[in-house]
Structure 1
Amino acid sequence: MILTVTPNPSLDRTYEVPSLDRGEVLRATTDRVDPGGKGVNVSRAVAAAGVRTTAVLPLGGAPGTMIAELLGAQGVDVTAVSIAGQTRSNISLAEPDGTLTKINATGPALTAEESALLLETVRTCSGGAAWIACCGSLPRGLSPEWYADIVTRAHAAGARIALDTSGPALLAALPARPDVIKPNASELAEAVGRPLATLGDVLKAADELRSLGAGAVLASLGADGQLLVSEEGTYYGTAAVSSVRSNVGAGDASLAGFLIAGGTGPAALASALAHGAAAVQLPGSAMPAPSDLRPDAVHITQDLPLDLPLSEMSDER
């Protein structure tokens, strides 16, 4: 079982539009509503693979009720912490060339009581979990050390932690030694305080974060592939994609694929790449099913092209 924790979930509405013209009335060609938030998406992808998953998340108002209903329909067990505020709603506008414009709401503030209850709920639900995936931004009311607290508690209970967050929350959690972190290129650059121009730069940055406490770094580089740096070795991989439809949740699908395949080594990296590549070819934040995966399109190597320049604009996988 894979447990996910999403402190700031969302209800995601995606509209596909012919073009994004400011000041004009836009008519969507298609639209969809999905439960959102990074950990929520990980659970959705895990459930799509037929693996048991539980999503722990604070929910409030009508959007919160709808998220729980949508997740239940997708085979995700939901353990909700009721909050006084209303769960946020996000909007994504997808254009035919793959350009995505996102409007993310801030979300509700959690009280001290709600924060404590969320921590306790994670503890009570974590028994038997192969992995606990803590994902996404922290809502107002939670300190940057909140994820570090979860990592410490999880390790005390013998569980492994995958952390996908950024900024102060990521840096604060590193001393607690999360088993794997999954930054994208911009988040990795922010963490080390400098731009990353090549794959070699990414490797150096990943090594720095490992020296600060991360057990392994799974760096998602969008169209440039993914880099896994861990005690077992360093691996670089790519996955061919025919066309990009939406990159919403693609990085989350990658993390799900990584954890489903055990969360370590080249086989897990290959699964991450296959899931991320499949996700960008689906509408909105739809998560890939096993039939969407193309393992034959994945290439893994330990012979790293360190001089490979990173794309300036790349879809996250």
Structure 2
Amino acid sequence: MILTVTPNPSLDRTYELPALDRGSVLRATADRVEPGGKGVNVSLAVAAAGHATVAVAPLGGPEGALLAQLLGDHGIEAAGVPVHGSTRVNITLVEPDGTLTKVNAAGPEITAAEADALLATVRARAADTRWVACCGSLPRGLPPEWYAELVAQAHRAGARIAVDTSGAALDAALRERPEVVKPNSEELAEVVGRPLATIGDAVKAAQDLRDRGARAVLASLGADGQLLVDASGTYFGSARVTAVRSNVGAGDASLAGFLAAGGTGPAALAAAVAHGAAAVQLPGSAMPRPTDLVPAAVTTTARVPLDRALTEPTP
């Protein structure tokens, strides 16, 4: 069982357009609505891989009810915490060439009582889980320290925890020594306060996060691959990708693959890379199933190419 926590979930509405003309009345050629939010995406990927998962999230209004229903349609139990505000709705506009324009809503403001109810739900469910994955941005009303408290609560319940967030929330969570943190290259650069130009720079930044409390760092480096830095060493993984269709949710698929494979060591890194590579070759935010994975396309090594320049260096 993998429990996910999404403090700011969403309904994701996607409209496919023949063209994006500002100031015009646009008619969609297709549209769809899907459950969204980083932790929700991890649950979707875990379920697609055939594993049990429960999604904890604040849910409010008819939007929250629909989100719970959509999760159920995917075989995912929604452990929803009722909140006064309505669950946010995010909009994605897709042009024929694959260009995405996203409009992400702020989401409801969470009260102190609702925040405590979220922690209580995690505490009650964490004892029966192998991993807790808390992912995404914090909604209004939750301070950065809330993630640190969540890590502490999960540890008291005897669960291992993975954190995928950024900025002050990630910085605060490090103090409670999460088993895994999963930044991308931009988030890694932000939290250490310096640019990353090479894979070696990313390794040093990941080591800094371990010095500050993270027991392992799984870092997504976009098209360059992924890094795992833990107590046993540093490992680099990459995969051949035929064609990129959408990178939406690819990092969440990677984390799901990593945790489902045990969440430690080079074998779990290989699973993370395989899931991420499969996800970018699928449309929209579709999560890979076992038949989508190509383990033979994945390479992992302890001989990390430290001098290799990043395809997308961080400023």
Interval containing the TM-score (normalised by the shorter chain): over 0.9
2:179 matched to 1:183? no
Which residue number in structure 2 is paired with residue 294 of structure 1? Answer: 294
String of CA shifts for 1:62-101, please: whole Å, max 9, x gaps: 1111110010010111110011100001112234544332
Could you say what secondary structure the match of 1:269 adopts? helix
Going from structure 1 to structure 2, the CA distance change for 1:97 and 1:215 (only over 3 Å counts) comes to farther
Query: Does the 8 Å CA contact 1:203/1:229 hold for their aligned counterparts?
Result: yes
Which residue number in structure 1 is paired with residue 166 of structure 2? Answer: 166
Which residue number in structure 2 is paired with residue 276 of structure 1? Answer: 276
Q: Distance in 2 between the 1:242 and 1:133 partners? A: 30
1:111-122 matches, cutoff 5 A? 111-122=111-122
Going from structure 1 to structure 2, the CA distance change for 1:112 and 1:59 (only over 3 Å counts) comes to same
Q: Distance in 2 between the 1:58 and 1:290 partners? A: 30
Which residue number in structure 1 is paired with residue 91 of structure 2? Answer: 91
Specify the code of the residue in structure 2 equivalent to 1:111: T
Q: Which ranges of structure 1 fall in alignment gaps of 5 or more residues?
A: none
Which residue number in structure 1 is paired with residue 157 of structure 2? Answer: 157
State, as a whole percentage, how many aligned pairs show the same letter. Answer: 69
Which residue number in structure 2 is paired with residue 193 of structure 1? Answer: 193
Which residue number in structure 2 is paired with residue 110 of structure 1? Answer: 110
Of 236-245 and 179-188, more deviation after overlay is shown by 236-245
Which residue number in structure 1 is paired with residue 236 of structure 2? Answer: 236
Which residue number in structure 2 is paired with residue 259 of structure 1? Answer: 259
Which residue number in structure 1 is paired with residue 10 of structure 2? Answer: 10
Going from structure 1 to structure 2, the CA distance change for 1:292 and 1:28 (only over 3 Å counts) comes to farther
Q: Distance in 2 between the 1:240 and 1:167 partners? A: 31
String of CA shifts for 1:247-274, please: whole Å, max 9, x gaps: 1111101100000000011111111111
Query: Does the 8 Å CA contact 1:237/1:301 hold for their aligned counterparts?
Result: yes
Which residue number in structure 1 is paired with residue 73 of structure 2? Answer: 73
Deviation at 1:25, TM superposition (A): 4.3
Which residue number in structure 2 is paired with residue 212 of structure 1? Answer: 212
Q: Distance in 2 between the 1:98 and 1:131 partners? A: 35
Q: Which ranges of structure 2 fall in alignment gaps of 5 or more residues?
A: none
Aligned length: 314
Of 256-265 and 301-310, more deviation after overlay is shown by 301-310
Q: TM-score under structure 1 normalisation?
A: 0.95
Which residue number in structure 1 is paired with residue 142 of structure 2? Answer: 142
Of 36-45 and 302-311, more deviation after overlay is shown by 302-311
Query: Does the 8 Å CA contact 1:100/1:246 hold for their aligned counterparts?
Result: no
Q: TM-score under structure 2 normalisation?
A: 0.96
